[in-house]
Each structure stands twice: as C-alpha cells, then as structure tokens.
Amino acid sequence: MTLPTVCLRCSTKSCEKYPLGELYFCEYDVAFIKLDKDILRKETLVPLRHISENLRHALNPVLNVIIEELNIIEPNLSLRRIDLANPADKALAATKIIDLFIQMISGVNEFRPSITGVQEDQPRKLISIINKYYKIYSVLKSARRNPDLRLNAPINENVFLPICPDIYEYLISILIDNAWKYSLPGRELRVEINMKNDTTADLMFMNESRPFSSDFDIFGKGQKAIKNSEGLGYGLYWAKILIDYYNRLMHKHSNPLELQHNQVLMSDTLSKQYFIIVNIDILEKRTLL
Amino acid sequence: MKGSIFIKVGKFLMKHGNLKICIVDDQKTYFSDNMIQVANSAGFKSIERYFIVDKQLMKILLENPPDIIILDIKGIAEEDVAKDGFGIAKVLFDNTNTFVVITSAHKFFLHETHKSYDYMIKERLLTAVDFVEELALIVDIYLRSKVRIYKKMIFRIGFSMVKKAIVHKV
C-alpha cells in the first residue's frame, strides 16, 4: 500500500488511538492505516477545481457589493477610466485586482472555454488598456514591489484591438503586473508595438529586473523566478492558456498568437526582460484628411 | 447648451420610441436599482428588472417578447421552466425575435453546447456608468443586426442623438 503521508492538521489526532494494520476513516473523512512506526493517511479528495469554483461564485457578489457602494460615493465611477487622484477609483482598482486574481486562480485550475466562437465586440484602444492596468497595479504598495515604475509606451491613439479585446486585456494586465512585481526601483516599463502589416503586430514589454537562472521555466505552472517575490507563479501559465484559447477561437493555424520571453543579462545584478506578444490582431483607424 | 437641448430631444424620442429591455439576474447587486436609474436618465426608459423566471414570466416573455433581454446563467430559472439561463435563452432565441444577451460572472467557465444568444456581456464588474455604456453598445448592435431599417425609427433617431454622449472611446 502506498498511501501518501499527508493529512489535515487536526487537533484530535484520533487516528493515533486506533488498532494497528486496519483501514479506518477519521471524523474528517481521512483514510488511514496505523503501522508500527507510522500512520499512512490519505485525505478525501477535494479537487482544486471545486475549491476555485466555489471561490469565484462566492466572491463575485461580494465584489459587486463593493462596487455598488463605491458608486454611491462616486456616481461617475468607471472601470474603463480610472482616476487615481480619487480614493473611490483606487478602491475600484483594488476590486478589479481581486477579480483578475480570482479569474486566474480558477483559470489555471478549472478552465472550461466556450466553444461558440467570437462575437461582435467594441474595439478597444490599445494605449488605453496599457494605461489602465499600469494605473490599476500601481495601487498595490509593498516593500517587494517596484515603488516608482515609469511607463514608457509610445503607442498611437489610433491602434485598436478589434477581436476578443478582453483576452488581450488580460494578457496585458499579467505582463504589467509582473513589471510592477519584479522591476528594480527607478526603472521603466517600455511597451512598443511593431507593425507587421495593416492588421498584425507584435507587442513588446521590456522591464529591468534582477537576473534569474537561464534554465528557469518561466511559463511553468507555479514556477517562481524569485523565491521571495509576491508572485504565485500562475500568471504567465494562465497567459499561455488564454493564448491557446484565443488561437482555438480564431482557428489560427498559421501565424498564431504567441507569448515569447527573452532575458538579456546586463550585469550580475541587472537583466532586461523582454516579453513579446507575437501576432496580435490590430485595427489601425486612419484619420480622414 | 445646444448639445444639451439636442440630447434632451434625443432622450425624448427614445422615451417614445418604445424599445423594451428586460433584465433577469438573481443577484440584486448586479444590475442594481442605481444602475437602472442611471440607465433611465441616459434615455433607456423602458427597463424591466426580474430576478427569477417562473412559468408565468416565461409565458409573458413568449407572448409579448421584449426587444432586448439580458439573462444571467445560474440561478434564474425555476426548475419547471428551464435548467438555467441558457435554457431560457434558447427558447427565446428560437421562438422570438428578441435580441438575447447573456451575462455571467464566469465567462471562461460557461457550459454551452451551441450558441443561443446574440451577445455576451463579458465584463464581470460594471459600475453604473460602465453598464450604460455596455447597454448603448448592445442597443447599437441590436438596431444594426436584428431590426429592419424602417422599424423603431423614433427610437433610432433619438438614440443616434444621444449615443455619442453616452459611449466614450475606450
């Protein structure tokens, strides 16, 4: 028998009082067998997906209560135009971070994508999305986060994301959150767009951080580049899931959407981190002369 | 001031244009009273708010369908009516000309085998202003895709006068 020796940290330890050699279940539904020198235990299987499903069902109404109350304080509140000079907007930004976090946790544990395809949506301005998430993640203050990250994003106002902008929005939010988490103080996040043709571009995010090992799997589930960082190691893994989902929705067999990473070592203590979303679908609205 | 009078005229026409919107969501904080009031003042005067679809409401929705219905997925259907919001959406989508909108706080986790709706609200968190912008987008798509050009003319004219004041480029 190869039951793992994991268990709930219960206070009763009732398993210790049972006779040797037989299978029992304790009051917490943990199966166990007491042996001469050890107790083999196996917890009731509670899949992570059940936990995350309950989490998102329970927390979403709570977040909406917060927004409803903030709306009473500030009637013109909008998640699409956040003004950090206003405390209600800051609270709204924090609420949005919780929402994104719940989506990520449930996304990596129980993703069940829709199969019904792309629908009409309002194109969203790329630079507005970048500015929005730069502002949203600036509300978090921690000794381990960058305190003064500057955003340098020379992107024209006429560049829009016309297809599934919500998925792009999520990808951009993950990369901007990472920049706030890992950039060294006094540095900038540079975002550049490289047009490939009228409808396709690459979007590059560059930030400067401490170097990390070249054999580190940055897109791996639960992988943390820096041990003491704030991250859980799920963000980039979730980004990859979203990109796969986008390619399936769009039937992208050639020139698919991709997320690439490259680290350029500048010194023993400094490296440039390049994240490039390759082959984004864009719409460039041209001004009529 | 000129713009203000222009918008007032637009709202007046929208009010008399008879575009009926129905919202069903069991969570009272989604599409709250405040959000409906803000939508009313933006010109969307005819919004009916329900929390559960029972047999009686289903009968009304089929006999006198609204122009637009916004449906949550989970928790809105009585057992003898449908399994969930998708079930109600399918009945209305197949049997009426209602523009069916679904909304869910869990867009990445929807179990759907085929599409029985016209539009999905993807934003999980909406302030009152965000809701009105989303509603304007829905109405716009509805007027372009599901209504013949000569129908709803009074509402169309009013809406075209008000739309720019509601929808901000994002």
A76 touches chain B (CB under 8 A): yes
Predicted local distance difference test score (pLDDT) of residue B108: 66
Percent of chain B at pLDDT > 90 equals 51
With CB atoms and an 8 Å threshold, state whether B119 touches A113.
no
CA angle, B16 then B130 then A235, to 5°: 150
Structure token digits, residue B68: 């637009």
What is the rounded distance in angstroms from the CA atom of residue A43 to the CA atom of residue A8? Answer: 7
Candidate from B74, B108, B130 with C-beta closest to A80: B130
Question: What is the pLDDT tens value at each position of chain A, 289 positions in all?
Answer: 554 445 655 777 888 888 999 898 887 777 889 888 888 887 666 667 777 778 878 898 899 999 999 999 999 999 988 999 999 999 999 999 999 998 888 888 777 666 555 666 788 999 999 999 999 999 998 888 899 999 999 999 999 999 889 899 999 999 999 999 999 999 999 999 999 999 999 999 999 999 988 778 888 877 777 666 667 788 999 999 999 989 988 888 889 999 999 999 999 999 999 999 999 999 988 754 4
- CA B112 to each of CA A15, A79, A193, B69, B70: distance values in angstroms, whole numbers, following the listed order: 45, 28, 36, 18, 17
In this prediction the pTM is 0.83
Cβ(B159)–Cβ(B138) under 8 Å?
no
With CB atoms and an 8 Å threshold, state whether A81 touches B168.
yes
- What ipTM is given for this predicted complex? 0.86
Q: Is B123 helix (H, G, I), strand (E, B) or coil?
A: coil
Structure token digits, residue A141: 């203050």
Instruction: Return all residues near A189 (Cβ < 8 A) that are at least 6 apart.
Output: A134, A149, A150, A151, A152, A153, A176, A179, A183, A205, A206, A207
DSSP A220: S
Contact list in A for residue B130 (CB cut-off 8 A) is 78-80
Inside any domain, residue B3:
no
Inside any domain, residue B166:
no
Contact list in A for residue B109 (CB cut-off 8 A) is 53, 56, 106, 110-112
Closest CA–CA distance from residue B42 to any residue of chain A (Å): 13
With CB atoms and an 8 Å threshold, state whether B126 touches A128.
no
Closest CA–CA distance from residue A288 to any residue of chain B (Å): 18
pLDDT band, residue B50 (cuts 50/70/90) = very high
Domain extent, residue B33, equals: 20-150
Write the single-letter amino acid at A229: S
With CB atoms and an 8 Å threshold, state whether A60 touches B168.
no
A14 touches chain B (CB under 8 A): no
Helix axes A126-138, A165-182, angle to 10 degrees: 40
With CB atoms and an 8 Å threshold, state whether B127 touches A71.
yes
Cβ(A168)–Cβ(A280) under 8 Å?
yes
Predicted local distance difference test score (pLDDT) of residue A52: 77
- How many structural domains does chain B have? 1
Inside any domain, residue B12:
no
Interval B141-158 mean pLDDT? 84
| Closest chain A residue to B105, measured at CA | A60
Residue with tokens 């994508």, as numbered in its chain = A113
Inside any domain, residue B79:
yes
Predicted local distance difference test score (pLDDT) of residue B163: 81
Predicted local distance difference test score (pLDDT) of residue A135: 96
| Closest chain B residue to A80, measured at CA | B170
Closest CA–CA distance from residue B75 to any residue of chain A (Å): 11
Bridge partner residues of A194 (DSSP): A202
Contact list in B for residue A66 (CB cut-off 8 A) is none
Inside any domain, residue B24:
yes
With CB atoms and an 8 Å threshold, state whether B125 touches A96.
yes
Inside any domain, residue B156:
no
Predicted local distance difference test score (pLDDT) of residue A4: 46
Predicted local distance difference test score (pLDDT) of residue A45: 64
Q: What is the largest CA-CA distance in chain A?
A: 89
Structure token digits, residue A50: 């059940």
Residue A212: name the closest of A193, A189, A233, A192 by CA. Answer: A233
Inside any domain, residue B72:
yes
Predicted local distance difference test score (pLDDT) of residue A289: 46
Using alpha carbons only, how large is chain A's radius of gyration in Å? Answer: 23
What is the rounded distance in angstroms from the CA atom of residue A113 to the CA atom of residue A116? Answer: 9
- In this predicted structure, the answer to whether residue B11 has a pLDDT above a threshold of 90 is no
Predicted local distance difference test score (pLDDT) of residue B64: 95
CATH number at residue B94: 3.40.50.2300
Report pLDDT digits (tens) over B78-127.
999 999 999 999 999 999 999 999 987 666 666 566 678 898 888 879 99
Inside any domain, residue B78:
yes
Cβ(A258)–Cβ(A278) under 8 Å?
yes
What phi and psi values does residue B77 have, to the nearest 5 degrees? -105, 130
Predicted local distance difference test score (pLDDT) of residue A114: 64
pLDDT band, residue B170 (cuts 50/70/90) = very low
